[in-house]
C-alpha cells in the first residue's frame, strides 16, 4: 500500500471516530501499528493504539458537532504531514480539558506528522494551537497586545 493510500485510510478513520464515534475504525483502517506512539503536546505521550482511542473518546466528552477540513497533505519518503482545521462546539468537560462547557464554537488549527514503517503508522506527532483552544474555552485568559 502506498503512503498516499495509508493517509487516505487514516483520514477515513479520523472522520469515522470524530463524526460517528466509530472508534473501531482505527483498527478497521489497518494502518496503525498497535504499539504506535502518539505525541500531542501539551498532553503526555500516549503509547499504543488502544490508549489513543481512549483519549479520542475523551474528546467527545468536551466537544460535539465536530467537523474537519483537511487543508494540506505533504508526503516525503516514509513521512506524511497533514494540516487541518477542526471546528466543534464546546459542550462538556473532562479531565483532559477541565473547563465548564461554554457552548461556544471553537476552532483548532494544527498539523500532524506521521512516521510510517512496514506499511503502518508507528509514530504520530501533532502540533496544534492548544493555547488558542484553551483561550477559547476559558482555561487560559487571552494574552497579547490589545491595542493600548
Cβ-based neighbours of 20, under 8 Å, separated by 6 or more: none
Could you give all domains of the chain from N- to C-terminal order, each with its CATH number?
Answer: 3-136 (3.10.450.50)
- Give the span between the Cα atoms of 125 and 141, in whole angstroms: 26
Beta bridge partners of 124: 38, 114
Half-sphere exposure for 106 (CA within 13 Å, toward CB): 24
Mean pLDDT, 10 residues at a time, the chain of 148 residues = 94 92 94 96 95 90 92 96 96 90 96 97 97 93 68
Closest CA to 77 of 112, 39, 117, 36: 117
Task: State the pLDDT at residue 146.
Answer: 62
Task: State the pLDDT at residue 59.
Answer: 86
- Give the span between the Cα atoms of 104 and 65, in whole angstroms: 11
Q: How many CB atoms lie within 10 A of CB 96?
A: 11
Locate 135 and state its grid cell.
483561550
- The pTM of the whole model exceeds 0.85: yes
- Give the span between the Cα atoms of 18 and 29, in whole angstroms: 15
Closest CA to 45 of 119, 118, 108, 126: 126
- Give the span between the Cα atoms of 53 and 83, in whole angstroms: 21
Amino acid at each position: 500500500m502506498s503512503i498516499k493510500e495509508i493517509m487516505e485510510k487514516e483520514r477515513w478513520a479520523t472522520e469515522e471516530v470524530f463524526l460517528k464515534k466509530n472508534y473501531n475504525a482505527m483498527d478497521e483502517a489497518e494502518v496503525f501499528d498497535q504499539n504506535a506512539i502518539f505525541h500531542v503536546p501539551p498532553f503526555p505521550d500516549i503509547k499504543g493504539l488502544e490508549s489513543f482511542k481512549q483519549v479520542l473518546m475523551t474528546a467527545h466528552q468536551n466537544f460535539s458537532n465536530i467537523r474537519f477540513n483537511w487543508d494540506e497533505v505533504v508526503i516525503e519518503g516514509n513521512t506524511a504531514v497533514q494540516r487541518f482545521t477542526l471546528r466543534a462546539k464546546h459542550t462538556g468537560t473532562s479531565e483532559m480539558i477541565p473547563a465548564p462547557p461554554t457552548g461556544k464554537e471553537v476552532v483548532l488549527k494544527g498539523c500532524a506528522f506521521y512516521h510510517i514503517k512496514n506499511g503502518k503508522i508507528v509514530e504520530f506527532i501533532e502540533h496544534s494551537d492548544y493555547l488558542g483552544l484553551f483561550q477559547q474555552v476559558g482555561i487560559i485568559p487571552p494574552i497579547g497586545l490589545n491595542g493600548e
